[in-house]
Chains A and B, each alone.
Chain A
Amino acid sequence: MVALFACMVLLLIGFYAVVTKRNIIRIIIGFSLVEYAVNLFFALVGFKRNGIPPIITELGQSRSNFVDPVPQALVLTAIVIGLATTALMLVLAMRIYEKYRTFDITEIRRLKG
Chain B
Amino acid sequence: MASAFLIPLLAKLWQRSADLIANAAGAILLGISTYGAVYLFTVSPALTYRMGGWASTLGITLVYDHLTALVALAVNTIGLAALLFSVRYLDRYTGRWKFFSLFMLVLAGLNGVTITGDIFNMFVFIEISAISSYALVAFGTDFDELEAGFKYMVIGEIGGTAILLAIAMLYAKASTLNMAVVSQVMAGFGRTPLFWFIVATFLVGFAVKMAMVPFHAWLPDAHPSAPAPVSALLSGVFIKVLGVYAMSRVMFNVFGLSRANAAGFFNLLLAFGVISIIAGGLLAYAQKDYKRLLAYSSISQVGYILIGLGIGNYWSIVGALFHILAHALGKGLLFLASGSVEYATGTRDMDKLSGLEKNMPVTAWSHLLGSLSLAGVPPFAGFFSKLFIIVGAVAARMYWLAVLAALFSTVTLAYLVNVVNRVFFNRKEREATSAREVPASMSLAVLALVVLTIALGIGFKPVLDRLVGPAANVLLQGLGYAQGVLGR
Q: Which residues of A contact B (CB under 8 A)?
A: 11, 15, 18, 24, 27, 31, 34-35, 38, 41-42, 45, 68, 70-71, 74, 77-78, 81, 84-85, 88-89, 92-93, 95-96, 99-100, 108-111, 113
Contacts and interface: CB of A to CB of B under 8 A. Distances in A.
B120 interface: yes
Interface in B142-180: 142-144, 146-150, 153-154, 157-158, 160-161, 164-165, 167-169, 171-172, 175, 177
A34 B165 CA distance: 10
B158 A18 contact: yes
B286 interface: yes
Interface residues of B, number: 38
Interface centre among B134, B146, B148 (most CB of A within 10 A): B146
Contacts of A108: 147
Contact of A35 (B147, B161, B175): B161
Contact of B143 (A18, A78, A110, A113): A110
A99 B175 CA distance: 48
B172 A34 contact: no
Nearest to B172: A45
A38 B147 contact: no
A96 B146 contact: yes
A88 B134 contact: yes
Contacts of B177: 70, 74
Contacts of A31: 154, 157-158
B397 to A, nearest CB: 38
Given A45-B168, A113-B287, A113-B292, A99 B146 contact: yes
15 contacts: A15-B158, A31-B154, A34-B161, A42-B165, A74-B171, A77-B124, A81-B127, A81-B131, A85-B131, A88-B153, A89-B157, A92-B134, A99-B146, A110-B144, A111-B148
A100 B143 contact: yes
A41 B154 contact: no
Nearest to A73: B120
Contacts of A24: 150
A32 B225 CA distance: 26
Contacts of B124: 77, 81
B356 interface: no
Given A38-B165, A111-B148, A71 B154 contact: no
Nearest to B225: A111
Contacts of B143: 99-100, 110
B158 A34 contact: yes
A35 B157 CA distance: 9
B164 A42 contact: yes
Contact of B144 (A18, A34, A111): A111
A93 B146 CA distance: 8
Contacts of A109: 147
Nearest to A30: B154
A7 B323 CA distance: 40
The 5 tightest CB contacts between A and B, nearest first, are A42-B168, A45-B172, A111-B221, A92-B150, A81-B127
